Amino acid sequence: MKSLGSIRRDFAPWNDPNAKPYIQFDKVTKKFGDFTAVNNLSLTIFEREFFALLGASGCGKSTLLRMLAGFEEPTAGRILLDGQDLRGIPPYRRPVNMMFQSYALFPHMTVENNIAFGLKQDGMPKPEIAARVGEMLKLVKLEQFAKRKPHQLSGGQRQRVALARSVAKRPKVLLLDEPLGALDKKLREETQFELMDLQQSLGLTFVVVTHDQEEAMTMADRIAIIDKGEVMQVATPAEVYEAPGSRFVAGFVGNVNMFEGKIARGEAGAASIDAGNGITIRTENAGDAATGAAVAFAIRPEKIKISSKKPAGAVNAIEGEVYDIAYLGDMTVYHVRLDDGHVVRASTMNAARITEDPLSWNDRAWVSFRPDAGVVLTR
Ligand code: ATP
C-alpha cells in the first residue's frame, strides 16, 4: 500500500463521508471595526482530533480560537459544537476550556490548589477533588511537586500545571493558544510528545494555535493553514508537505524549490514543463493542469540528488555550480546555482560517515530528481 509520507494512519474520520463533524465553523466572519480578521471561513474538526491552526502572526488564528471559546462572537456565520449553535452561549457554559499563552497560574497557590481551583468553584465534593487532583498530578508527572508554588517550578513544569488545570474539569474540547511558546527548543520537543500522549489517553479533542510549522507537523492529525483570515488548505501533515495545494502552502511549510513555467505537453497526469532558459522538467504529478497553463513546479530539497557527474539515465538533470554548503551533522545542504542563475537547494542525509562523491564550493555539479518527486501547482 502506498502512502504519502512514511506513516500509515488509522484515525482519519475526515475521509469517511458518514462521519459527523464535531466542531463546525460555517462561513464565519469576524470584523473589528473596518478590519476583517476572519473572512467567510469554513472548516470542520472531528471528535478526538488533534487539530492545528497554523499561520503567521496576525492571520486570525487566535481570533478563531477565542470565538470557539466564547470570548468573541462572530460578526457573521455560525459555529456549531456537536450540532449545537454556540451563539449566545457564555464561555463557562461551553464544554470547552482554553489554555492561554501565559498559563495564568495563581502565584500564591500551590500546584495542587491551582489544579483544584476550577473544581472547587464548581462545588465538587472534597474527596472527589482530591482524587481528581491526584489523577491529574500523575498524568503530568508532577506528584512530588504538589505542594510547591509556581515560582518554585521550571518553565516546563509550570506548563504542565497549566495543562493539568485546564483538563481537570474534563472539557470535551481543549483549546491551546501557543501552548509551548515559553519553552526552549529541547523542552518544546519533549513536551510535544507529552501533549500527544495526554490527548490520546484522555480521548479529548484538541485545537491548538501555533505559528511554528514543525510543532503543527509533529502534533496534529490535521493542519489548517490560515492566511489573512482565510483557510488556504486543511490536510494531514504529510499531505500539506507532499501535496501542497498552492504556491503559498508549498512555500509556507518547509523548504521548497520552485520553478515557474508553462505546461508544454501533458497526458494523463504526466507533463513536460518549459521552465525557460532551456530547462525542461518532466513530471508525473501534473494532475489536470492544461497544456499551456502557467504553473509552478515545487520540489523539496531532500528529493534532489546532487552529484559531480551527470547520473546515467536521469530523466531530470540540470547542471550548475556549488556556491554554498551547510554541514548540519545529520545532513548537508547544498545551494547550487544553475547556469540561468536559478538557485536550487538540495539536502543529503549523512547516513554514512564518509562520502563517496565529496563536493566543494565552486565545483560543477548536477542536480537530478525523479519524475514523481515534485508537484505541479496551478494556484
Ligand atoms: P498572533 O500569532 O500574533 O497571536 P493571530 O493569527 O493569532 O496572531 P489574531 O490575534 O487572531 O492573530 O488577530 C488577527 C487580526 O485581528 C490582527 O491583525 C489583530 O490586530 C486584529 N485584532 C485582534 N483582536 C482585535 C481587537 N479586539 N480589536 C481590533 N483588532 C483586533
* The CATH number of the domain covering residues in 255-377: 2.40.50.140
Residues of the chain with CATH 2.40.50.140: 255-377
3-state secondary structure of 221: coil
CA of 32 to the centre of ligand 1 (A): 9
The pLDDT of residue 322 = 95
- The set of cell numbers assigned to 206 is 484538541
At 359, give phi and psi (nearest 5°).
Answer: -120, 150
CA of 35 to the centre of ligand 1 (A): 10
Atom 16, ligand 1: residue with shortest CA distance = 37
Atom 30, ligand 1: residue with shortest CA distance = 32
Strand-pairing partners, residue 266, are: 271
**170-225 pLDDT, tens digit each:** 888 999 988 887 677 777 888 888 888 888 888 899 999 998 888 899 899 999 99
Nearest to 238 by CA among 177, 300, 174, 331: 300
d(CA 174, CA 196): 13
Give yes or no for residue 292 CB within 6 A of ligand 1.
no
Ligand 1, pocket-test mutation among 35, 68, 75, most atoms within 8 A of CB: 35
d(CA 85, CA 369): 50
- The set of cell numbers assigned to 47 is 471528535
The pLDDT of residue 280 = 87
Asked whether 352 and 342 are in contact (CB, 8 A), the reply is: no
The pLDDT of residue 101 = 62
Residues of the chain with CATH 3.40.50.300: 13-247
The pLDDT of residue 289 = 80
* The CATH number of the domain covering residues in 13-247: 3.40.50.300
The pLDDT of residue 268 = 64
Asked whether 331 and 310 are in contact (CB, 8 A), the reply is: no
Nearest to 159 by CA among 197, 105, 107, 215: 105
The pLDDT of residue 202 = 85
The pLDDT of residue 269 = 74
The pLDDT of residue 266 = 64
The pLDDT of residue 178 = 84
d(CA 163, CA 201): 14
3-state secondary structure of 96: strand
The pLDDT of residue 1 = 63
Ligand 1, pocket-test mutation among 61, 72, 232, most atoms within 8 A of CB: 61
d(CA 166, CA 99): 6
Atom 31, ligand 1: residue with shortest CA distance = 32
- Contacts with 346 (C-beta within 8 Å, 6 or more apart), sequence order: 301, 304, 305, 306, 333, 334, 336, 367
d(CA 287, CA 155): 48
Q: What is the CB neighbour count within 10 angstroms for residue 325?
A: 15
- The set of cell numbers assigned to 350 is 549523512
**pLDDT averaged over consecutive 10-residue blocks of the chain (379 residues)?**
73 91 96 95 96 92 94 96 94 87 82 93 93 89 91 86 88 88 77 84 91 90 94 94 92 90 77 84 83 89 92 91 92 92 92 85 92 90
Give yes or no for residue 55 CB within 6 A of ligand 1.
yes
CA of 324 to the centre of ligand 1 (A): 39
pTM of the model: 0.87
